[in-house]
Amino acid sequence: MLLVTDNLSKQYGDFRALDALSLQIPAGEVFGLLGPNGSGKSTTIRLLLGMIRPTRGSARIDGRDCWSDSVAVRRLVAYLPGELRLYDNLTGRQFLQFLAGLRGGNYGSDMTRLARRYDIDLDRAIANLSSGMKRKLALMSVMLPRVPLVILDEPTNTLDPTMRDELLDQLLEARSRGQTVLFSSHVLQEVERVCDRVGILARGRLVHLQPLAALRQGRQARVHLGAAPTRLPPPGIIVEEHHGSHWRLSCHDQVHELLAWLAEQQVVDLRIEPLGLENIYQAHHPAAAKEALAS
């Protein structure tokens, strides 16, 4: 396992910012860390980067302790924080070359190629870039190094839809190279698209761990019936909600059975879509789920 936490905890007085997080993430996985503000996501990331010392437990990246061997750990990680602080007196090219030098390397033609994909002029001063362009430059700084672990905290903030799609494609490319991505986002659709697994945090605790392959295969149906159903849905079809003539159903491997049952009914309106994270996330964070879906 590339990343392992064992009862990782951080406490400030009586407040538990993170409580006994035990997690294993292998190389080549895109892992989504979900939860609203205050759930423990930022604390987890700071502990992994050795920025703060755990109260109890431990975190290790590639076998190295994130606190006692933090300098070596940071060589293995590229990190994009949620709020950017760039060197405005440098050009984009100078900024990336400076960071490459800190790692003892040179990005060379990869930098030019990625700048073309991001449609950014690297010879402009950072002070003269828009917030979206600054975000692109910051993304380049974490996607260029070929490090084992990439940590992204809300990476699509201020990005237009085209650039969001480009970034998500690049996360999948990073996975294909064997890199691990820890991806924190409030936008559930982004997480569903790229993540292999997700962990949901609530009040500092890991409350749910979910592989996404099964969710991508599953379907949910929202249906308005013009008359009472001729029979109840067959086994394996879950009735999530039922209010009068309005039904919300879900299934995993029984899509054919769902369609057969619907064909017997007097359907006024129907919408079928992937099962998704909405119901799972909403069970732990009802208010935050609406915000995440609207983002």
- What residues have CB less than 8 Å from 190, skipping those under 6 apart? 156, 164, 168
pLDDT score recorded for residue 172: 93
By DSSP bridging, strand 64-65 and strand 56-61 are antiparallel
pLDDT (average), residues 230-241: 89
Count of residues in the chain: 295
Whether 164 has a pLDDT exceeding 60, the answer reads: yes
Q: What pTM was estimated for this model as a whole?
A: 0.83
Mean pLDDT value across residues 192-206: 92
Examine the pLDDT at 154 and tell me if it is beyond 60: yes
Rounded to an integer, the average pLDDT of 270-282 is 82
**Predicted confidence (pLDDT) at residue 289 exceeds the cutoff of 50:** no
